[in-house]
Amino acid sequence: MDITLFTAKEAPTIFFSESHDHRHCHRLHRVRFPNLAMQSSISQSSKYSLDHSPPAAAGKWASTLLNDCARAISDKDSNKIHHLLWMLNELASPYGDSDQKLAYYFLQALFCRATETGLTCYKTLVTVSEKNYSFDSALKLILKFQEVSPWMTFGHVASNGAILEALERETKLHIIDISDTLCTQWPTLLESLATRNDDTPHLKLTVVSTTTKVKSLMMEIGQRMEKFARLMGVPFEFNPITNLNQLSDLENEALKVEEDEAIAINCNGALRTIKIEERNAVISMLKSLKPRVLTIVEEEADFLSSKNEFMSCFDECLRFYTLYFEMLEESFEATSNEKLGLERECSRNIVRVLGCGNESELERELTSERREKGKQWSERLEERGFLSARFSDDVMDDVKALLKRYKPGWALMHRTGAIDTNRDEEEGGDDSSGIYLTWKEVPMVWISAWKP
């Protein structure tokens, strides 16, 4: 997971003061906005000044200022852009309240969009995060997140349940894990395999990663998994695939699939990283492996439909991350380093989606962060020949029991019908398959199971 963000001093000098003196690092100087026609007048209703800055009591000021700034960028109003960027820079802070944090993490993306520096900034963010990445810190962050929020464990429990049921009574199992969760999903599955009523099966775990910082940790991850499998008494083989730059480069031969293996494929946050034009081809490749089950976990947001409409994309991005930040704020202690790390992780994604735009052919070199909603993924999967597989009552009961471990606010939803942890399943009118994790009645994470 990405746990690094620019500090003010580390950010590109065009963004903050050109001086590296920390006393001036929060002063935004006037910069030139490429290809923007200067407009001499700004409507009185749109003017802001520090003398009339939005007070905390006035409500959610960050979304108002950010929306106005995004609109100015869309309208190419240079004077207004500069004024709002400067004001946001004065008010934003990664250590303040939820409004200050929201302003801080969206400010960089908006500045990159206005100055057409998104790709440079994004690549720098990735490089910095890789440089400061370590197994211990990343694992600590993931485990703490799983402790206070079902954001990740929701998908783990449902996926593991579907996989175990699909591979029941099989003696030679092959799970292909396409994710960057450091294999934190699999210890509980190994425990379940160790306690099966029939003979303990042999498990081959193939882990596919295209993230540079995770690739470097595969040896340590493999050693830990092998040690735990021995402890559980499960015959185990670890097969990491780390020589890929894009998931579309994955070939059947690297997976080492054998004819007598029962295959399950787990995609956790992986599909959104695939280039948009390559997604259907990757889904077809996964189908060609003839898995007993394909499980998919994705965040419920649509950054694809509006990718060529900046304001619509901005609105969806702001909606999703506002809820995400609020969830983190209520789940963690105020001074939690893990919470700060997760908030900083969002910076790269926001810059990628809003800051980079469609600047040049160089965008093809980078992974995508264009999320799609469950309905959109369902359409893709069905078009490629997959059939939706409903989660069993036992799996649903396990997920409901999981949610009871966390603070109020979380619920389970099937399609558009909300259910709580004590009620039977309801269905709505959405055409998507699978189930949703909701936060305060808003779908945030989608998981589904599929069969070819």
Q: Same domain, yes or no, for 126 and 143?
A: no
Q: What SS3 state is found at 368?
A: coil
Quick one: how many helices (H) and strands (E) in the chain?
A: 15, 10
Mean predicted lDDT score pLDDT of the chain: 82
Q: Mutual orientation of helices 337-350 and 310-331 as an angle, nearest 10°?
A: 170
Does 236 lie in the same domain as 296? yes
pLDDT for 344: 85
367-381 average pLDDT score? 88
pLDDT at 434 over 90: yes
- Name all contacts of 305-314 with Cβ < 8 Å and 24+ positions apart: 305/376, 307/276, 307/358, 307/370, 308/358, 310/70, 310/73, 310/74, 310/113, 310/354, 310/357, 311/70, 311/71, 311/74, 313/353, 313/354, 314/67, 314/70, 314/354
In a domain, 52, yes or no: no
In a domain, 269, yes or no: yes
Q: Is the pLDDT of residue 44 over 70?
A: no
Residue 12 within a domain = no
pLDDT digits 0-9 by tens, 336-348: 999 988 988 888 8
Quick one: 393 and 377 in the same domain?
A: yes
Q: Which position has the token pair 């801080």?
A: 104
Question: Which pTM does this prediction carry?
Answer: 0.84
State which residues form the domain around 250: 137-300+371-415+433-451
- Map tokens 């809820």 to a residue: 323
55 in a domain, yes or no?
no
Structural domain contains residue 230: yes
Mean pLDDT, rounded, for 165-171: 94
d(CA 405, CA 401): 7
The residue-averaged pLDDT of 344-364 equals 74
pLDDT at position 175: 98
Q: Are residues 174 and 268 in the same domain?
A: yes
Q: In this structure, is residue 242 part of a structural domain?
A: yes
**Are 158 and 265 in a shared domain?**
yes
Domain count of the fold of the chain: 2
Residue 145 has pLDDT above 60, yes or no: yes
128 and 141 share one domain = no
The closest alpha carbon to 89, from 121, 50, 34, belongs to 50
Do both 195 and 253 map to the same domain? Answer: yes
Which pLDDT tens digit goes with each residue over 235-292? 999 999 988 888 888 888 889 899 999 999 999 999 998 988 899 999 999 999 999 9
Give just the sign of the alpha carbon dihedral 110, 114, 117, 118. positive
In a shared domain, residues 238 and 202: yes
**More confident of the two residues 419 and 145:** 145
Determine, yes or no, domain membership for 188.
yes
pLDDT at 52 over 50: no
Quick one: 163 and 290 in the same domain?
A: yes
- Whether 384 shows a pLDDT value over 80: the answer reads yes
The answer to whether residues 186 and 209 belong to one domain is: yes
Rounded CA-CA distance 388/434 in Å is 8
Q: Residue 330: inside a domain, yes or no?
A: no
Whether 249 and 346 share a structural domain = no
Same domain, 280 and 179: yes
What's the CA gap between 197 and 201, in Å, rounded? 11
Alpha carbons 102 and 294: distance in angstroms, whole number: 35
